[in-house]
């Protein structure tokens, strides 16, 4: 099993503060002979529908030497998990969790704007100090 991201517990706490129930830590995707590990799986009851919303969250710290390298690695994992979840657990929506500073640095830059315009990527932006979710970008 891979090592946890430095913000793993921060994101878990932020989800719980937002009334999500963490159901998997990690969420395992089995494909063929391989197991892949999305950082978190969570569920939230939707009272009006008496149903639940299910999400998977891949946490990316963006603390490496290169923001672009971190972005490429994060997107690679996101695309892989997205495609496998679509086939194995289509009821789960995948999010990439990043802290506020990384969001500003990457996604308010022209390269990040292109990614958001395409609406392929779903983001969960969190405050790493307050341990709260600031934005859901769908």
Q: Phi/psi at 17 (nearest 5 deg)?
A: -65, -30
Taking only the tens place, the pLDDT of each residue in 67-89 is 999 999 999 999 999 999 999 99
Is the CATH number of domain 8-137 3.40.1350.10? yes
Residues 55, 44: Cα–Cα separation, whole Å:
9
Taking only the tens place, the pLDDT of each residue in 36-63 is 999 999 999 876 656 789 999 999 999 9
Boundaries of every domain in the chain: 8-137
Q: Which of 78, 45, 48 is nearest to 60 (CA)?
A: 78
Q: Are 63 and 121 in contact (CB under 8 A)?
A: no
Name the pTM for this structure. Answer: 0.94
Residues 119, 80: Cα–Cα separation, whole Å:
16
């Amino acid at each position: 099993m891979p090592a946890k991201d430095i913000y793993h517990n921060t994101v878990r706490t932020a989800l719980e503060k937002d009334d999500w129930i963490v159901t998997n830590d990690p969420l395992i995707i089995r494909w063929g002979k391989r197991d892949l590990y999305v950082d978190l799986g969570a569920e939230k009851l939707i009272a009006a529908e008496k149903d639940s919303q299910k999400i998977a969250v891949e946490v990316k710290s963006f603390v490496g030497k290169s923001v672009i390298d971190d972005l490429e690695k994060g997107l690679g994992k996101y695309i892989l998990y997205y495609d496998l979840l679509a086939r194995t657990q289509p009821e789960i929506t995948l999010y990439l969790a990043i802290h506020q500073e990384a969001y500003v640095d990457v996604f308010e830059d022209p390269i990040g704007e292109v990614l958001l315009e395409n609406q392929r990527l779903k983001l969960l932006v969190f405050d790493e100090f307050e341990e709260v979710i600031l934005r859901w970008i769908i």
